Structure 1
């Protein structure tokens, strides 16, 4: 098959070919522990075996020659090497159960029968993880990776019939099914994002047709990068109030300081000043109390106390009334 130290392309395409560097430890993946990591292990081993053109030995497509003794001997060598690869990538406890099986394909089938779980409890567990997944402190990339991993695990457990004849109607049906699945994934992805991304979520849902999950992820990552560059996420409370004001501006009791619904006067930016990233920061902070000077801490405390006590008695002072009241009090700075 080879001359000297050089191998022809035809030699390397032959599944019976072994490179001189191949050995029992040439393939290394995380070891098979049991049913919990079987699917990930199975996929990793498939990739490794296919890269060496040895996948046919475990799926049974490469048969031992019955007429050529040389090829039969080479097949035995390949079979034993693949068994050694399988043994080196499973735990000792699992290896003991397949140690005396002489065919790589039989070892592969035995592990599949033992650990390939597709029962309802496994599906339920994965779907439960998916429905409870929230972004919280995760970055956009980490959140997408976690959700995408669950999608792929759940999808791999679905067994669909094979379509032998493909026509235009079948193609259109498959395309429609894929579109529905993509929409479901998009809604799951958008649903559990933090509220600070509420504006971006609304913009994406208004698009027609709806974007793919990958497009939505890219849009959120861009917004995340801009927020990090502008230090928008430095104060979670401020970002949450900003988002709440956007989403709930038509609900709740109006702020007594600015008249906008969705937040209390104790957190109103017109009193405390706008954050640095806000476009009104330099223009309006010096006019927060309408007099060209920032309110003192004592005045703010008095405003909050008056409004909270007034709310208990059913009486609420307006901002102008409180300003006039404080201006008449001795020892206060207006």
Structure 2
């Protein structure tokens, strides 16, 4: 191993053995990830980290033909990958986002993932606002009930 190229080839052979296993683990992790107690932003960020790592292991193919490709198959492959990611994101969301999920999946063409994320975050803000208003209303009604029926500590 007197050449740098030989060293790099040796390192690649030694350390790339588990690539498919890691890809399999990442795909399973992404497909089983659910929002649960996470905010939409936290959930989306976790998915993005997994997708980026998958991209490192399996980058999109590039055309190496000497004649410029005219069939646009690579563009179609890239678009399908983005659609798969959008559906994966929507699938893992909590049920309270079913309306926005249905709405987005009916759009033709499917908007970019950043736009879908924006729709879901808007829905999250709306839901959080409704919960806040409901909680304020409950707090007011419960405090009114406590004040409305005072009890004397001396004679009951």
TM-score by length of 2: 0.70
Match of residue 167, structure 1, among 42, 56, 68: 68
Deviation at 1:227, TM superposition (A): 2.3
Output the CA distance in 2 between the equivalents of 1:138 and 1:112: 37
User: Cα RMSD between the aligned structures?
Assistant: 3.3
Distance 1:116 1:232, change over 3 A: farther
**Which blocks of at least 5 consecutive residues in structure 1 are unaligned?**
1-102, 236-274, 277-334
**Which blocks of at least 5 consecutive residues in structure 2 are unaligned?**
138-156
Q: Is the 8 A contact 1:147 1:189 kept in 2?
A: yes
In the alignment, what sits opposite 1:127?
27
Q: Is the 8 A contact 2:62 2:74 kept in 1?
A: no
Q: Is the 8 A contact 1:186 1:213 kept in 2?
A: yes
In the alignment, what sits opposite 1:152?
52
Distance 1:166 1:151, change over 3 A: farther
- Partner of 1:144, secondary structure, is helix
Higher helix share: 2
Output the CA distance in 1 between the equivalents of 2:117 and 2:73: 27
Deviation at 1:166, TM superposition (A): 5.4
- Partner of 1:230, secondary structure, is helix
Deviations 1:250-294 (A, max 9, x none): xxxxxxxxxxxxxxxxxxxxxxxxx95xxxxxxxxxxxxxxxxxx
Which has more radius of gyration?
Answer: 1
Q: RCO (CA 8 Å, sep 6+): is it higher in 1 or 2?
A: 2
Deviation at 1:113, TM superposition (A): 4.7
1:177 matched to 2:100: no
Output the CA distance in 1 between the equivalents of 2:134 and 2:27: 34
